[in-house]
Amino acid sequence: AKVSMVALRERKKDQTREALARAAFNLFETKGYEATTVAEIARAANVSRRTFFRYYATKDALLFVDNSDHLERFRELLALRQVGDTAFGPVRRACIALAESYMSDHDQVIARARIIESSPALSKQERQQDLGWEQAIAEALLDSVREPSDVARRRGRLLAGAIWGVMRASMEEWTRDSGRRDLVWLTREALSLFDSAVTLELEPRTPRVDN
């Protein structure tokens, strides 16, 4: 009975959290993010303002709350190397898996992207969060180098920024089209194009000295 009571409380918390998120997204889409207050979100979800802050520290947390979980899973996938992998192999697989997870939550991801795009403050915050994804990719690329030099580290950062730029471009194309296209296909196509256009050479080649 004690276990079932705990499970019941957790289920109720999940329901409240989901109700707040649903109410917030509806208000953001109809009124706009800046014009929507925490009090309005709480009222629409039939809870108090105080209850809202038990679940979300700020209004913008509603839009970024899952980011750390997605990033943690992304890092786990980046660490899964296969025999014969190039430096790009784990990165490519992790990016495709991320696209698959976004496709599985299609409507919510599209709505979130549109809300963020409509707000300069939220767009700026999302760009800041991009740094975490770029860092994760850079670290994964450098895992293929035993003792990376400063040049390799710099190249890793540059390549990671470019790879995440490819991901962002695919996401933007997908959301502009209201998610009618397959994000996984768009991601595969974009990453294949990137891979064919760029040589992922982290360490500089040692120039050959002719005797």
Rg (C-alpha) for the chain, rounded Å, is 21
Long-range contact pairs involving 116-121 (C-beta distance under 8 Å, separation at least 24): 116/63, 117/175, 118/32, 118/33, 119/32, 119/33, 119/34, 121/34, 121/60
**pTM for the structure as a whole:** 0.82
Q: Is residue 86 within 8 Å of 144, Cβ to Cβ?
A: yes
pLDDT at 208: 46
List, as one string, the DSSP characters of 163-192. HHHHHHHHHHHHHHTTT-S-HHHHHHHHHH
* The pLDDT value given to residue 13: 87
User: Quick one: pLDDT at residue 120?
Assistant: 92
Distance CA 183, CA 164 (A): 15
The confidence score (pLDDT) of residue 9 equals 80
Split the chain (211 residues) into runs of 10 and give each run's mean pLDDT.
Answer: 72 90 93 94 95 94 89 94 87 96 90 92 93 95 84 91 95 90 95 82 55 48
Q: What is the pLDDT of residue 3?
A: 61
- Hey, what are 197's tokens? 């256009």
